[in-house]
Structure 1
Amino acid sequence: MAEATNRREQLADAAIATLASAGMRGLTHRAVDQAAGVPEGSCSYYFRTRQALLRAAVDRLAEMDSAEMAARGLPRDRPDISELADAAAELIEHWVTAGKTRMLARYELALESTRRPELRAVLVEAGGQVRRLAEDLLAAAGAPDPPGQAPVLVACVDGIVFDHLAGAGALTLSPGELRATLLALLRTFIQER
């Protein structure tokens, strides 16, 4: 059982890497086999359909995001907005450097989801985890409307990452500029104590 779980993770990771490097059109069972360095037919054995493979990639992205956010120790108990800005800036810096492959794969999946309602449903479900975390953090920091503000905060962070990696603006902020931008954004949500 553990071997099957490890193989599924290995193939999902290879699917993410394939999406980032070759795009949605390059994502095939055979390409994932090659990227994972496993015998041909392995991917189709574990993920019979393209939809199953896409679902595995989305689930793996959500799993890695959750683990990463937990490992970074985001402040939970009455954080001030400076702590939140620091944590968010650190996360964004990671996503545009070491996490770039995952982010590019996520964008490929998001675009494909505009044509595949079943994929859209999976992405919305996975994204709900991040929005709930943002809502919890905003609530702990004293925001007046965490359920209304969390989706906007997540959209802004997503926009910063997207523009940095793929946007026409080619946004590049120094760590200090990024922190200042996030601090200003958070101040619009939270009335400082």
Structure 2
Amino acid sequence: MAQNPERRAALVDAAIDVLAREGARGLTFRAVDTQAGVPTGTASNYFANREDLLDQAGRRVYTRLAPDPASVAHALETPPSRELVRHFMHDIVRRVTADRTGYLALLELRLEATRRPDLRRTLTARLQPEYEESIRFHLAAGLPGDRSTVSVLYFAMLGLIVEHLTVPEVIAADPIEALIDAIVDRVVPRE
């Protein structure tokens, strides 16, 4: 059967919506069909099985959350500094807040990976290079700090984002912008 790439993309986006709303256990072909507004059985024509659907959703989330290359290039026109790191950290939170559904779906995939070794391998294959690329990017751009700086920044921001998107009341007393600035100020050395 010939497959429509636009419909496949819509089904994957629908799967992301279902993951964010219902969790991995609620991700069924029927739920995806309903979310996408297509006839029952459509998703099963596009994906070999549920694992394939989970894998495709994981891949798509990263595309949705990725920074705009032109914006990154523009930001890199300024000299490397703690302020530039701050800019990039604020941009990360802006992007995940703008696509809250995508990030929540990613969190659901991470949780599901604790129960599914194949998904864990898939996510590890995606997350490990992403983590290393973050370090490589930071160092290659000449931003202040070393590998350890980037690691601490990466995991501190990850925790802040999880709180911000899941239980924002925990950090309600402190504006997220101020928390990002505090993380950068404490982790990234002065030039």
TM-score band by shorter chain is 0.7 to 0.9
Q: Could you tell me which residue of structure 1 aligns to residue 82 of structure 2?
A: 81
Distance in structure 2 (CA, Å) of the matches to 1:125 and 1:49: 20
Unaligned runs of 5+ in 2: none
1:163 aligned partner, one-letter code? E
Q: Which residue of 1 aligns with 2:122?
A: 122
Q: 1:70 to 1:46 in 2, by over 3 A?
A: same
C-alpha separation in 2, matches of 1:62 and 1:180:
25
> SS of the counterpart of 1:130?
helix
2:131 matches 1:159: no
Deviation at 1:26? 1.2
In the alignment, which residue of structure 2 is the partner of 1:184? Answer: 185
**Does residue 12 of structure 2 align to residue 32 of structure 1?**
no
Please state if 1:135 is matched with 2:130. no
Give the drift of 1:18: 0.4
CA distance in structure 2 between the partners assigned to 1:85 and 1:130 by the alignment = 19
Q: Distance in 2 between matches of 1:176 and 1:52?
A: 37
CA distance in structure 1 between the partners assigned to 2:128 and 2:5 by the alignment: 24
Residue 79 of structure 1: SS of its match in structure 2?
coil
Note closer, same or farther for the CA distance 1:126–1:185 as it changes in structure 2 (3 Å cut). Answer: farther
Please state how far the C-alpha of 1:152 moved relative to its aligned partner: 3.3
* 2:6 is aligned with 1:6: yes
Amino acid at match of 1:82: E
Does structure 1 residue 70 correspond to structure 2 residue 69? yes
Q: CA RMSD in A?
A: 2.5
Distance 1:141 1:65 in 2: 24
Residue 52 of structure 1 aligns with which residue? 52
**Partner of 2:94 in structure 1?**
93
The one-letter amino acid of 1:102's match is: G
TM-score (norm 1): 0.83
| Residues 134 and 153, structure 1, Cα contact 8 Å, conserved in 2 | no
**Displacement of 1:53:** 0.4
In structure 1, the partner of 2:104 is: 104
Deviates more, 1:122-131 or 1:10-19: 122-131
Distance 1:142 1:93 in 2: 21
Q: Compared with structure 1, are the counterparts of its residues 46 and 3 closer, same or farther at alpha carbon in structure 2 (3 Å cutoff)?
A: closer
Identity across matched positions, percent: 31
Q: Is the 2:19–2:27 Cα contact (8 Å) retained in structure 1?
A: yes
| Residues matched between the structures, number | 186
For 1:179 and 1:150, locate their aligned partners in 2 and report how far apart those are by CA, in whole Å: 14
Question: Partner residue of 1:20?
Answer: 20
- Residue 180 and residue 150 in structure 1: after superposition, are their counterparts in 2 closer, same or farther (change >3 A)? closer
d(CA) in 2 for partners of 1:30 and 1:127? 29
Native 8 Å contact 2:16 2:57 kept in 1 = yes
**Residues 175 and 46 from structure 1, CA distance in 2 versus in 1: closer, same or farther, beyond 3 angstroms?**
same
Counterparts of 2:90 and 2:145 in 1: how far apart (Å)? 22
Which segments of 5 or more consecutive residues in structure 1 lack a partner in the other structure? none
> Cα distance, 1:80 vs. partner?
1.1
Amino acid at match of 2:37: G
Q: 1:142 to 1:86 in 2, by over 3 A?
A: closer
